[in-house]
Amino acid sequence: MKKNKFYFVAIIALVVFLVQPKVWHGLRDYFTKIDFETQLGLKSDVESNRSNSQLLELDLKDKKQIEVAKHSGFTQTELEKSKYSWIKFSGVTVTGKLKEVNLVVTPKSLNNDKNSEKELKDIRPLGWHDGQKELVKIPIVSKGLINFTLDKNRVFTGTKQTAETLNQVMSKVYESVLTSGQPARVRVTPIYKIVSQIPSGLIVESKGISTNPLDFKVYVINQQKGYRLNYLTGTLKMEEN
């Protein structure tokens, strides 16, 4: 009798748990985001959705960016939090490496920021050395999308080529929000080798809301054509022919 009562209470507790909004949305997102063949391991999704470790193993010499997946990886629950502009930094690791940043860009948050250069002057991001002509200090997110305060935990050491490519990707978000008049969800995730101070690149993904057609996930590679960047020391040396 006690055993049956235990099973009855356990079932009731499980039902109560599953009907909670956050739990239900999470399960729904998982089973609708991935098709059943992939869930059962019957096909590989490597080509259309590369993992972080796979990105580090690819031969990306002389490339500026590559497509990680056909679409962004945001869940429906994440997209529901996109009515107003906001930005959330995940901070840094115990060794000072930048973690991902999430934000919502709206037409009202767009701006023509002109203070970044002044703010960056006294900031020394991880792996930074003065005198490296092809290296620059790069905000992890463009301040033209949303205003925030720059500090060493929101800036990384990168190449001029990376800064230009990342700016092009951020401009794509800017133009889409401006043209459609609708918000966009954005996430930037720095990717590091195990022993390094400087990111090998950044995964940038964005999804437009409502009539905003934006939807992409790319990997911006932190390198400079004709040079070899040491991600541990922060030195950039010209490659020998």
Q: 56 and 37 share a domain? A: no
Count the Cβ atoms, other than its own, within 10 Å of residue 99: 14
pLDDT of 13 higher than 70: no
Smallest Cα–Cα separation from 140: which of 103, 114, 183? 103
Q: 76 and 138 share a domain? A: yes
Q: 75 and 18 share a domain? A: no
Q: Global pTM?
A: 0.78
Q: 119 and 27 share a domain? A: no
pLDDT of 3 higher than 80: no
Q: 205 and 184 share a domain? A: yes
Domain that holds residue 98: 48-238
pLDDT of 16 higher than 80: no
Q: Any idea what the CATH number is for the domain that residue 215 is in?
A: 3.40.570.10
Q: 59 and 146 share a domain? A: yes
pLDDT of 7 higher than 80: no
From CA 101, how far away is CA 222, in angstroms rounded? 17
Domain end, chosen from 24, 43, 62, is at 43
Q: SS3 of 96, please?
A: coil
Q: Each residue of 97-149: pLDDT tens digit?
A: 999 999 999 999 999 876 777 889 899 999 998 888 889 999 999 999 999 99
CA distances from 12 to 22, 23, 35, 75 (A): 18, 16, 30, 28
Domain count, the chain: 2
Q: What is the dihedral of CA 138, 115, 84, 107, to 10 degrees?
A: -100
Rounded to 10 deg, the angle between the 21-33 and 2-18 helix axes is 70
Q: Each residue of 29-46: pLDDT tens digit?
A: 333 333 333 233 333 333
From CA 60, how far away is CA 52, in angstroms rounded? 14
Q: 53 and 26 share a domain? A: no
DSSP-based helix, strand, coil % in the chain, nearest 5: 30, 25, 45
Radius of gyration of the chain (CA): 21
pLDDT of 210 higher than 50: yes
